[in-house]
Chains A and B, each alone.
Chain A
Amino acid sequence: MKISIAGLHKAFESRIRLGIMSALAVNEMIDFSLLKEFLRVTDGNLASHLKALEKNAFIGMEKSFIDRKPNTRYFMTKKGKAAFDDHLEALERLIKSQK
């Protein structure tokens, strides 16, 4: 796992990836189109960020069909939750220490 100085996670350097994790932290599952709506990004952009998070095993996905249309729903894994919490703590620590 790549961790930069002070415990900030490399994977969360991108605002979009941070946004995906934030949304998944408070929702059990979110499908692709809703994530797109929340983050206001293009399909391709969102897909590449999701793939990066999946590669880290921070999120998982579940494919199903709704009215015969494919639907992909994403959720946060335990590992993702731990990494996200660490990242939040690191952010808070950094803000406090520089005050």
Chain B
Amino acid sequence: MKKQQGYIRDLSEIRCMMERSSKFFSLSGWAGILAGIYALSGAYIAYAILNFRPDELFYKPSGILSTGLPELIWLAISILLLALVTAVFLSYQRAGKRGEKLWNPTAKLLLVSMMVPLVVGGILLLFMIFNGLLGLLAPFSLLFYGLALFNAEKYTYGEVKVLGLIEMLLGLLGVWFVEFGLLFWALGFGVAHIIYGIHMNYKYER
């Protein structure tokens, strides 16, 4: 019977090593929680202070440029950078705790798999801004972020796939109900990130 347990342990260690050597597991749940909080604050600033409340897909480019669009872009970039720096910093700490380096081939694979949809989506959002398609900004950022996560799941936790599906669903809803675009954005980037982060923290980091 003792031998039996040895075989089972052998198999489970083989599986564990296969996963550890091909997937990136240093992403911390706290990164998700904090990113969600940044996103919620950003959505509030956009709605309450910058008055970003598009209820139509299309705005004449000239008319909207005067109403805080540059501020909105800066706000979006700041939130993105803040979330990224937080994620990198926390992952660096977590990798250290696990006796691993942050920058390894699995991190590279994860990043590349996310980069393609994100860069394409980013360029598309810029084109939309120039052409006055302001009602689609929030839902399309959700859609492309969701695609990036869905794609990235191969190289990290399986939960990321579910998060990606939720973001895409909210993105589609945002396209259909344009007037609630920012609300869906806040749900996707804010609430969903926070729930994901709490779940990951509870499941893997305690």
A residues with CB within 8 A of B? 15, 18-19, 22-23, 25-27, 30, 34, 37-40, 88, 91-92, 94-95, 98
The residues of B that contact A34 with a CB separation of less than 8 Å are 104-105
A-B contact pairs, 17 of them (CB 8 A): A18-B13, A18-B17, A19-B17, A22-B13, A22-B17, A22-B21, A23-B18, A25-B18, A26-B18, A26-B21, A30-B21, A37-B104, A88-B14, A91-B7, A91-B10, A95-B8, A98-B4
DSSP majority for the A interface? Answer: helix
Q: Which residue in chain B gives the minimum CB-CB distance to A34? A: B104
Count: A-B pairs, CB below 8 Å: 55
B window 81-136: CB within 8 A of A: 99-101, 104-105
B interface size (C-beta, 8 A):
20
| Pair A37/B101 contact, Cβ less than 8 Å | yes
Select the residue from B7, B101, B105 with max chain A CB neighbours within 10 A.
Answer: B7
Q: Is the Cβ of A27 less than 8 Å from the Cβ of B20?
A: no
- Enumerate B1-45 residues with CB–CB distance to A below 8 Å: 1, 3-4, 7-8, 10-11, 13-15, 17-18, 20-22
Q: A45 → chain B, closest Cβ, in Å?
A: 15
Query: Scoring B residues 155 to 170 as 1 if CB is less than 8 Å from chain A, else 0, what string do you get?
Result: 0000000000000000
**Cβ of A94 and Cβ of B7 under 8 Å apart?**
yes
Set of chain A residues within 8 Å of B22, measured between Cβ atoms: 26-27
